[in-house]
Structure 1
Amino acid sequence: MLVKLNDVVDRITGNEDRLVTTLPFYLAGEHYDSESIGIYKRGELNSTTVGKLGFKFHFPFKKGDTIFMSRNAHLKKAGMVMYDGICSDTSYILRTKDEKVLLHEYLPLVIQNEKFWRFFEENKSGSVNFLLNWKEMKEYEFELPAVEEQRKIVEEVWAIENAIKKYEKLMVATDELVKSQFIEMFKDVDQGYLSDVAMITMGQSPSGKTYNTDGEGVPFYQGKTEFGELYIGEPTTWTTSPTRYAECNDVLMSVRAPVGSTNLAIEHCCLGRGLAGIRPIEGKSTSLFILYSMRSIESQIEGMGVGSTFKAINKDQVYKLPIPLAPLSLQEQFVELAEQSDKSKFELKNCIDSAKETMQAIIATRV
């Protein structure tokens, strides 16, 4: 049966005082995962965080509600929330009017759907941060199957979603294993600074007038935009007036928002101010050991970032990043372990991608 969203869904509003609420969590933009039917991430409401939240955080929601970020359709932020909390008025809280007509587990499939995102694009307003007003959104029409069919679809889709979450947890556990092995293997090794084992070049952006997309000059990387799993991707920008360089297999570290991510260079290139180039000193270390060592302490490096708009770390901080002064044989052992971990994560990622494709196919053809 063809229905409008407003026929079967209520938009929930409210006025929950964030300063005195007993609700435990808040939902902000960074807690959504694009294209996910579930919302799992959250911020904890406490004496530190409530003061940082704006006054617009006053809408209470319940576990099982579907929440939709009304701005920037290209981010595709919407899903069923897995906890009670509050959000701001830019997030629309949607709740089924009658479970006998529309299952609450089915509702996120209606929203996290290419048909709906096309509707968003066609009906958005604003000039910079595009948004979909509730006045337009409530008129969205879609085919609603019988509850029995909804239940079949829900069981299939959420079984896939649960499998995806298990794969993701295994990826996290794999990373944690590498970190714990890093600590164990080097606990009795003298610790030094990154500058003890590597030559470090802090990036410096040339004049924007020298940039081009025609391949003229030297490949230029401003930050981590082109970062891949291990090696940085092909360049999209070149400069005819390069300033600071990295060479093939140098470690590249992001030093500006986000801080700490690493990749390997694939060729001679120019580094912008968002990157540092790290070249191992022969006989003291290797590119892969430096990369995996920095990944093992990436959260620590990220926490060093300062700045009100963009978090960044400076030259002195990069030079003084801690690293074990280990013999090359022990470094190689750790690299072998880390590479095996990467292979496992690659296989898990393929499983996740395949599961997501299956889920999207079900939603596209049956919802």
Structure 2
Amino acid sequence: MSKVLLGDVAVEHKETCKGSKDGYPIVGLEHLIPEEITLTAWDEGSENTFTKIFRKGNVLFGRRRAYLKKAAVAPFDGICSGDITVIEAKPDRILPELLPFIIQNDALFDFAVGKSAGSLSPRVKWEHLKNYEFELPDMDKQRELATLLWAMDETKKSYQKLIAATDELVKSQFIERFGDFKSNPKGLEITTIDQLFSVGSSKRVFQKDWKSSGVPFYRAREIVKLSEQGLVDNELFITEEMYQEYAARYGVPQPGDIMVTGVGTLGICYLVQPKDRFYYKDGNTLCFHSLGRIDSRFVVECYKMPFIREQIEANAGGSTVGTYTIETACKTRIFNPPIEEQQEFVAFVQQSDKSKFELEQTLSELNATYKRIIEENLG
């Protein structure tokens, strides 16, 4: 095993399309998925200004905002964005099947971030990237590692498919139990959020009142993390005195309330738990306070369904990067079936979530092992 530079074993593939682009799949940065080594999305026949050609087996490295960790193997010849560096292995120096794992790893991305230039949209050049240094074993060991790592990647994808299938099962179970929202074949009650909740936001907290300790102060991004993980490594706080004052004068989130993101990724819900004690940013997040006419857990699940997502997108001008306001939230239409049916569905979702959690834990452990093998053998 010896230390080598990336430029010793790979080159930047420089090839330009000077003729027709017909028949070439098109790959932009948006098609590269963070920390995914295989390319699963691209465009065909779309209008574009790209001219950079890549060949099957090349590694497509997202050189803009390298901290996003975007790098994937090309499964075909195509054309890509200028913000993608096309990297080609030197077969006499490195096994081409191993190169993607050297590029798609945390150490190289950290190196790339350190060498990136530009404040708003930092980019790294191949001239800097090629100086990344790592351990390279002999060819026999390279073959062994490539076989193992590709097998692990395939296993990871199997778990990802199972997790996705669990989500789809919940959606299909919703349709089976309650029917399509637009046609409402079961004649269920359909009402608006303002008939079920008191919808509001918070009293303004100015930036000068943000503290480094005290009572957690959440923005939309923290609500998203809470919805995904049930916890958040928070960085903003308000004083205990301010929290107590606002609790007495304006109220604070209570167990059973639903926090709903109003900016960023819209309509993400977090059900406030008995252990929770926090305040939140006005305009960023809405608070649905239950009027006791629906199971809040059921509402959280409804907000994951297409019929709610479509309403949010329509009110945000056709995208989920606008705003979700108190006014539009109040008008959001939702099923309100008999409470027993709501609770049965929630129980099914909780069981599915348990299975999904176990799959995610296994996937997390597999990812940790995968990264450790790369670090120990190609560090």
2:8 maps to 1:7: yes
Sequence identity, in percent? 28
Work out the CA distance in 1 between the residues paired with 2:318 and 2:211.
Answer: 30
Deviations along 1:69-88, whole A, 9 cap, x unmatched?
Answer: 22334332223244554322
Structure 2 SS opposite 1:225: helix
Superposition deviation, residue 301 in structure 1 = 5.0
Taking the TM superposition and a 5 Å limit, the aligned residue runs for 1:119-268 are: 119-187=111-179, 188=186, 189-202=188-201, 205-215=204-214, 219-226=216-223, 227-228=225-226, 229=228, 231=230, 233=232, 235-239=234-238, 240=242, 245-265=252-272, 266-267=276-277
Superposition deviation, residue 201 in structure 1 = 1.5
What residue is the counterpart of 1:273 in the other structure? 283
Deviations along 1:47-86, whole A, 9 cap, x unmatched?
Answer: 5xx3xx5x4x332223432111223343322232445543
Work out the CA distance in 1 between the residues paired with 2:89 and 2:229.
Answer: 44
Work out the CA distance in 2 between the residues paired with 1:197 and 1:33.
Answer: 39
Alpha-carbon distance change, 270 to 137 in structure 1, aligned in 2, over 3 angstroms: closer
1:190 touches 1:325 (CA, 8 Å); kept in 2? yes
What residue is the counterpart of 1:91 in the other structure? 84
Deviations along 1:237-280, whole A, 9 cap, x unmatched?
Answer: 23448578432331111121211221123235234312111122
Letter in 1 for 2:255: C
Work out the CA distance in 1 between the residues paired with 2:140 and 2:59.
Answer: 20
Structure 2 SS opposite 1:249: coil
User: What's the TM-score, normalizing by structure 2?
Assistant: 0.83
Letter in 2 for 1:8: V
What residue is the counterpart of 2:298 in the other structure? 289
Work out the CA distance in 2 between the residues paired with 1:197 and 1:248.
Answer: 16
Alpha-carbon distance change, 168 to 13 in structure 1, aligned in 2, over 3 angstroms: same
Work out the CA distance in 1 between the residues paired with 2:149 and 2:212.
Answer: 42
Letter in 2 for 1:194: I
2:53 touches 2:80 (CA, 8 Å); kept in 1? yes
Letter in 1 for 2:352: S
Taking the TM superposition and a 5 Å limit, the aligned residue runs for 1:13-162 are: 13-16=14-17, 20-28=21-29, 30-40=30-40, 42-47=41-46, 50=47, 55=49, 57-82=50-75, 84-98=77-91, 100-162=92-154
RMSD, matched Cα? 2.9
Superposition deviation, residue 116 in structure 1 = 2.5
2:345 maps to 1:334: yes
Alpha-carbon distance change, 34 to 267 in structure 1, aligned in 2, over 3 angstroms: same
User: What's the TM-score, normalizing by structure 1?
Assistant: 0.85
Structure 1 SS opposite 2:156: helix
Letter in 2 for 1:7: D
Work out the CA distance in 1 between the residues paired with 2:57 and 2:108.
Answer: 20
What residue is the counterpart of 1:361 in the other structure? 372
Deviations along 1:96-143, whole A, 9 cap, x unmatched?
Answer: 232x54222211111123442343355443445433221222233333
Work out the CA distance in 1 between the residues paired with 2:108 and 2:235.
Answer: 32
Letter in 1 for 2:8: D
Work out the CA distance in 2 between the residues paired with 1:16 and 1:250.
Answer: 56
1:68 touches 1:78 (CA, 8 Å); kept in 2? yes
Alpha-carbon distance change, 336 to 167 in structure 1, aligned in 2, over 3 angstroms: same
Superposition deviation, residue 151 in structure 1 = 1.3
* Count of aligned pairs: 355
Work out the CA distance in 2 between the residues paired with 1:22 and 1:63.
Answer: 14
Work out the CA distance in 1 between the residues paired with 2:162 and 2:231.
Answer: 25
Work out the CA distance in 1 between the residues paired with 2:123 and 2:11.
Answer: 19
Which stretch has the larger CA shift, 62-71 or 252-261? 62-71
Structure 2 unaligned runs (5+)?
Answer: 180-185
Alpha-carbon distance change, 223 to 122 in structure 1, aligned in 2, over 3 angstroms: closer
2:4 touches 2:133 (CA, 8 Å); kept in 1? yes
Alpha-carbon distance change, 231 to 322 in structure 1, aligned in 2, over 3 angstroms: farther
Work out the CA distance in 1 between the residues paired with 2:3 and 2:231.
Answer: 48
Superposition deviation, residue 361 in structure 1 = 1.0
One of 294, 314, 317 as aligned partner of 1:306? 317
Letter in 1 for 2:206: S
Alpha-carbon distance change, 211 to 307 in structure 1, aligned in 2, over 3 angstroms: farther
Letter in 2 for 1:267: R
Work out the CA distance in 1 between the residues paired with 2:322 and 2:103.
Answer: 34
Which stretch has the larger CA shift, 183-192 or 242-251? 242-251
Superposition deviation, residue 325 in structure 1 = 1.6
Which stretch has the larger CA shift, 119-128 or 262-271? 119-128
